[in-house]
Amino acid sequence: MKKILLLLLSVLLGAAAASAQTVHSVNYKSEADVKVYVTQWKSEADLVVYKCKIKSDATGNKGLWYFCDLKSDAKKKIYFCEWKSDADLVIYFTEWKSDAGWQKKEKQHLMY
């Protein structure tokens, strides 16, 4: 019974860690999992993003991002596009953690 509980707990903790929004910015479009455009207007964004200072704060798929220095540490590799039309995802950076979240849920799958 203990083994089953430990296994279940391991799976749940692994799933929680897998959904963390750790990202790494790459220099080439071809390296990216998601192409991102940063807008100046919150109303234009698909996702409002808060940059976390601590990796453990970047949990779930709720716009809480932690930028990793190493590509191998990141769950998603992103490329910042110069033009909105080139992007898969339009984001707005907020200064407030409570503002983070999806505004257009149909694009949520891009960050899973």
Each residue's pLDDT, cut to its tens digit, for the chain (112 residues) gives 554 444 443 444 444 444 569 999 999 999 999 999 999 999 999 999 999 999 999 999 999 999 999 999 999 999 999 999 999 999 999 999 999 999 999 999 999 9
Residue type at 62 in one-letter notation: K
Domain enclosing residue 92, as ranges: 2-111
Neighbouring-strand partners of residue 37:
90
pTM assigned to the model: 0.81
Q: Is the dihedral of CA 20, 58, 76, 63 positive or negative?
A: positive
Number of domains within the chain: 1
Q: Helix, strand, or coil here: 31?
A: helix
What tokens does 66 get?
């932690």
